[in-house]
Amino acid sequence: MEDKFTIDDFGKRLRELRKHNGFSQEGFALQVDLDRTYIGGIERGERNPGLKVILRIAQTLNVPITDLFQKSQM
């Protein structure tokens, strides 16, 4: 049986891609035009971002949106 992708997986993947691109959490939040605590909440799996936010995240990281929905390599 295949593992399901969860909101925690999304957060871990976001953190991985953010760090890979050299962004601090605060610097990334500024680029995406969101509050740092909101980004932290997403990364911890406490927040469930909407499609508009996910699109902004993918654009800022310069990755296809599908990359955000892959299991973290960490």
What type of residue is 25?
Q
Q: Is 22 left (phi over 0), alpha (psi -120 to 50) or beta?
A: left
pLDDT in tens, 6-56: 999 999 999 999 999 999 999 999 999 999 999 999 999 999 999 999 999
Say what the pTM is: 0.92
In order of their start, the domains of the chain are: 7-62 (1.10.260.40)
- In b/e form, how buried is each residue of 10-22, taking b as 16+ CB within 10 angstroms? bbbbbbbbbeeee
